Chains A and B, each alone.
Chain A
Amino acid sequence: MSATVTAVSLVGAVAPVTRRVRAYFAPVNREAGAPTLFDASQMGTFALSSPPSPWMDLGWCSKFARKSASKIGALTTGAPAVVQSQVVTQVEATVELEFESWGKLQLALAAGSQQMNLLRTATGAAANGSGGVAAKAVPLVPGSTASSLSVGATAVAQFQVGELVAVDEDYVAQTGFVGSGVSAAYVSSPASVANDINYIRRVTLNVGRVVGIANGALQLGSALLAGAPPSGMQVSPLMGFVDREGGGFFQEWSGLFVMDGEQGDRVIYHYPRLQAMQGAAEMVETLAGPLEKVKLAGAFRALPVKDANDGETVLCFRSYLPGAMRAV
């Protein structure tokens, strides 16, 4: 045992040592242009496995790289020209990362455009790249919650434990942003989506996995992103997810990336508005022999918000929460 007894006192501030990055996202209200803001002074110390609402966990990420493309130029006057001051000539920031897990949200963020659901097709539907004409959806009956979908004793027989389902409203000529919880697509006209009653369920991020069926209700493995579904929504079984190279819709989210330091410190990067800046891409990591791990690669560009404190235009907030009793 050591011969020295050391009482707690202020200790030197060292560079954060971290091993990985945890990512979170939250919806942006596209209609209002309002992102989800994260206040590190109020919520910065949250447990990584239980982020504060409405932030949703995207899991661990690797190869996180944030780049500032902001430019600072010199303002010169006189002859010969002498630098008199500096000016910000461009503000831009990007983020790149690889998701360590695959899921609807990770796929959606890395898709570059709409991230669609492969709805179960109607019998005899013609083949189509993003899924053929969908089977008739099942309406919800009163009593549904965010994790329990009441469909009635008869309709429940159409479902099986383990199935994926999309829950959203019917498409009835809406234009603009569509999708409950998160704007999943932009519809310019009913004709552009062929007046497909299932179009919103085809693009929605409001999806879940059926883990139990009882008393006319589907029990989901996790709560729906949009919360308890209002009456009028319907449920469509789906086989998986599909995105496309091409398409002109930019999804947008609020992003949060957290690095926990080994000395109890924490670094938080908050991007209020992020849009994908590349199409769907994967990175392959060799495991052994022919085995390879395929990771979703995401690259995002930050868009600006106004800081309410001083009106400055900002792309990213980097917060540092020092560990206890660290010199500052």
Chain B
Amino acid sequence: MQNARDTFYVTLRDRLAAVNPARTIVLRGVTRPGVLVEENELASATVPVNAFCLRWTGLSVDALAALPLATMTCEISYATDGDSGNGGMDRGRLLSGMDAELVSAVSAAPQNVTKMNYVGAAGGSGLAPVAMGTNVFWGDAAFGAAVVNGERLERVATVVVFCYQEAGEL
């Protein structure tokens, strides 16, 4: 499942970066696209704003077929305080913009991608990820209600991601 999670994250990150290259985040001193996977970062009580934060929640596995089919739930939370130059009064527009970016990235065809193994490529090794034999695929984003948290607007969208467990894959 981890390969599928990594693949989905990289795909979503690249698509979101293409939709809005200006959406970046500075994380541990590095400027990168405004997408992160919560479990891959240092534990923090801070909720990043103007960025998409992925959290893997549900998991089920159907082992009846020739390959086990894993169904995973990815929660994507994002928030904005608005632009300080506008006194935060544009927070609704900014949240709407993030909604649209997520729709573009998740619902753009094709909604599948070759599953990649990033183990060798991790840690700046310079090695290319290895293409695997099956695809990761996913449904459309289901958007939760916008939540007002003080001056902040927050939303959680959910995407169900599917993958097949290939022989020998953990």
Give the contacting residue for B133; candidates A15, A19, A325; CB below 8 A. Answer: A325
User: In the bound complex, do residue A14 and residue B164 qualify as a contact, i.e. CB atoms below 8 Å apart?
Assistant: yes
Residue total for B at the interface (Cβ-Cβ under 8 A)? 30
A6-17 CB mask vs B (1 if < 8 Å, else 0) is: 111111111101
User: In the bound complex, do residue B162 and residue A5 qualify as a contact, i.e. CB atoms below 8 Å apart?
Assistant: no
State the CA gap A8–B134 with chains docked (Å).
Answer: 9
User: In the bound complex, do residue A1 and residue B169 qualify as a contact, i.e. CB atoms below 8 Å apart?
Assistant: no
Is B19's CB within 8 Å of the partner chain A? no
Residue of B nearest to A324 (CB): B133
User: In the bound complex, do residue B112 and residue A6 qualify as a contact, i.e. CB atoms below 8 Å apart?
Assistant: no
Task: Report which residue of A11, A13, A264 has the largest number of chain B beta carbons within 10 angstroms of its beta carbon.
Answer: A11
State the CA gap A303–B29 with chains docked (Å).
Answer: 68
In chain B, positions 78-123 with a C-beta closer than 8 Å to chain A are 110-112, 117-120, 122
B38-65 CB mask vs A (1 if < 8 Å, else 0) is: 0000000000000000000000000001
Residue of A nearest to B138 (CB): A262
Task: Report which residue of A13, A15, A262, A325 has the largest number of chain B beta carbons within 10 angstroms of its beta carbon.
Answer: A262
* Interface SS of A by simple majority: loop
State the CA gap A260–B137 with chains docked (Å).
Answer: 12
Give the contacting residue for A4; candidates B67, B111, B139, B169; CB below 8 A. Answer: B169
Is A130's CB within 8 Å of the partner chain B? no
Give the contacting residue for A3; candidates B110, B111, B135, B170; CB below 8 A. Answer: B170
User: In the bound complex, do residue B117 and residue A8 qualify as a contact, i.e. CB atoms below 8 Å apart?
Assistant: no
User: In the bound complex, do residue A2 and residue B111 qualify as a contact, i.e. CB atoms below 8 Å apart?
Assistant: no
In chain B, positions 20-49 with a C-beta closer than 8 Å to chain A are none
Give the contacting residue for A262; candidates B117, B122, B135; CB below 8 A. Answer: B135
Residue of A nearest to B112 (CB): A262
Is A263's CB within 8 Å of the partner chain B? yes
Known contacts A11-B67, A14-B69; A6/B6 CB under 8 A: no
- On chain A, the residues within 8 Å of B133 by CB distance are 6, 8-11, 325
Known contacts A1-B6, A262-B135; A12/B130 CB under 8 A: no
Residue of A nearest to B120 (CB): A5
State the CA gap A13–B133 with chains docked (Å).
Answer: 11
Known contacts A2-B170, A7-B130, A8-B131; A15/B65 CB under 8 A: yes
The 3 closest A-B pairs by CB, nearest first: A12-B66, A262-B137, A11-B133
A-B contacts, 20 listed (Cβ < 8 Å): A1-B118, A2-B169, A4-B168, A6-B130, A6-B168, A6-B169, A8-B130, A8-B133, A9-B133, A11-B133, A12-B67, A14-B67, A14-B69, A17-B137, A19-B139, A260-B110, A262-B111, A262-B162, A263-B112, A263-B135
Given contacts A4-B169, A5-B117, A263-B135, 16 further A-B contacts (CB under 8 A): A1-B6, A2-B169, A6-B3, A6-B132, A8-B130, A8-B133, A9-B167, A11-B167, A12-B66, A14-B67, A14-B69, A15-B65, A263-B112, A263-B134, A263-B164, A325-B133
User: Which B residues are closer than 8 A to A by beta carbons?
Assistant: 2-3, 6, 65-67, 69, 110-112, 117-120, 122, 130-135, 137, 139, 162, 164, 166-170
